[in-house]
Each structure stands twice: as structure tokens, then as C-alpha cells.
Amino acid sequence: MGEIFLKLAEWNIHKMTNDILVKQFVIDKLIDVDADVICLLEYLRDTGIEENLKEKYWFEESNTISGNKVFIAVKKELAPDGIKVKNKNEVIGCYNFLHIEFLMQNGEPLSVIGVRMLSPIDASKQTPSLQKYISGLSTSFLCTGDFNIKDYRMDKWFPNISTEKMINTNCVLSDSSIIYIDKDSYEVTGFGAVDHVLHSDNINVKSEYDWKFLSCDSIYPCINKIAMGTIWNIPPAYPDHALMISNIEIN
């Protein structure tokens, strides 16, 4: 079959059910990363993103009840025959969900699933249905998204499913994908790694969290000054999660 190498970009772009177009820097960042597969969470249809991706990518978005959608784009050169939606329906009380499948250049199928666990999260109730769904897949798979579960808890809730290996980039916030705040004061109360990639055993995934986009707009505080007590009041359609970039090797 031969090995396949690809890049995956996952990003919660923080629309929070608001029908607002993202700023140009978000589009520029997606283009610059040049990922083979893109998964966006807290998405609502964005003509700016779609117009800039439509030449090189196939894409689909999920159905939604809670107001947020999942968007998945796949490079046409990776999926020459197009992509097929397998399931695009949110699981009520659990997560936003989109599952697409395509044949890679070598003729082998790959499933890509985008998921955002709804909050407040009760993992004991929300993860079993996803575990069951993944266990029923017959193809190689990548399941990526905002799980709202910290990295050290992923093995507990997905004990038999492989997860990404994080790369230490020695950059500020490189071990966090989210910044927690006090809802009243907007002061930073903590940090966490909640964006992940679950994958089949024949796939290796090495990921990193990229916060460089913070320098693109004055709405964000200086990355070097973000600490406990910093004001982090980010409006809708400005991403408030790190962009997770993953290098994928499929054996």
C-alpha cells in the first residue's frame, strides 16, 4: 500500500453560534498552514473561508441543533474522487459531529471525523456514544476536535483508542490549547490541552499547538504577557483556541 504523509489542521474558530465572518488573518493562517485536511469547530457558514478554499479543497459542514457546526475540508489532490458524508448529525447533549470518508491517492479509504464536545461536559455520559461509533469503523480514521477533556484524562475516557503525541516547541502556551477565564471578570484562571486527535493504530500523529495568530490583531493581549489574572475577553469569530497542527503518517 505504501505510506501516506499528510498535515491536519484543527481549529476552534469561536463563532459561538454567531453569524459573523472571520477576520482576514484567520483565512490567511489557514492558507499559510497549507494543511491537507482542515477541521474547524464552532463554525457557521463563512463565505470568506469557503471562497478561499474552494479551488484546492472539497468541504462539507455538519447539521446542528445547538447552533455550532463542524467544517471539514480535504485537498482535492489527496482525495481525487471527492469526499463522501457518512454522518453529519449532532448527537443531542453530547457533541457537534461530522464524519466524512474518501479514497486517498493510493486507493485506500480514510475516515475523518470532526467533533466538539458540548459544555458543560459530563464525559461519563458524552464519551460512550463516540467510543461506540469509532469502534464500528471499518476504515483507517482520524477523529479530531475540541473534546473539552484535558490531555491527561483522554486515556480514561478513550482507553483503547490511540491519541496524538504532542511536540514540545518550547514556545509560550505550547502545552495548552485553551485559556480558562472567570466568566464575570474575564481574568485568566488556568490553561489546558483539550484539542486532540484520536486515530487508528496504523496511523502515527505528532501535533503541536500554535498561538502565533495572537500577534495578528490588537484584540489579543501580547502572548508573552498572558498569565493568571490577565484579561482574556475575546469576541465571537476571533479564535480563542490554539490552532492544532498535526503531521500524520498512515502505514
Tens-place pLDDT, residues 161-205: 999 999 988 888 999 999 999 999 999 999 999 999 999 999 999
Spatial distance between the Cα atoms of 248 and 43, rounded to a whole number of angstroms:
24
> Residues in the chain, how many?
251
Report the candidate in 129, 184, 130, 123 with the shortest Cα–Cα distance to residue 156: 123
**pLDDT of res. 169:** 85
Higher per-residue confidence, 110 vs 171: 110
pLDDT at 87 > cutoff 90:
yes
Query: What single-letter amino acid sits at 227?
Result: A
Tens digits of residue pLDDT in 18-46: 999 999 999 999 999 999 999 999 999 99
**pLDDT of res. 168:** 85
- Do residues 69 and 87 make contact, with C-beta atoms less than 8 angstroms apart? no
Strand partners, 58: 74
Per-residue burial over 143-178, b if 16 or more Cβ lie within 10 Å, else e, is bbbbbbbebeebeebbeebebbebeeeeeebbbbbb
Q: What percent of the chain has pLDDT over 70?
A: 99
pLDDT-derived band at 84 (thresholds 50, 70, 90) equals very high
Q: What is the mean pLDDT of residues 231-250?
A: 98
End-to-end CA distance of the chain: 8
pLDDT at 124 > cutoff 90:
yes
pLDDT-derived band at 2 (thresholds 50, 70, 90) equals low
Spatial distance between the Cα atoms of 53 and 47, rounded to a whole number of angstroms:
10
pLDDT at 60 > cutoff 60:
yes
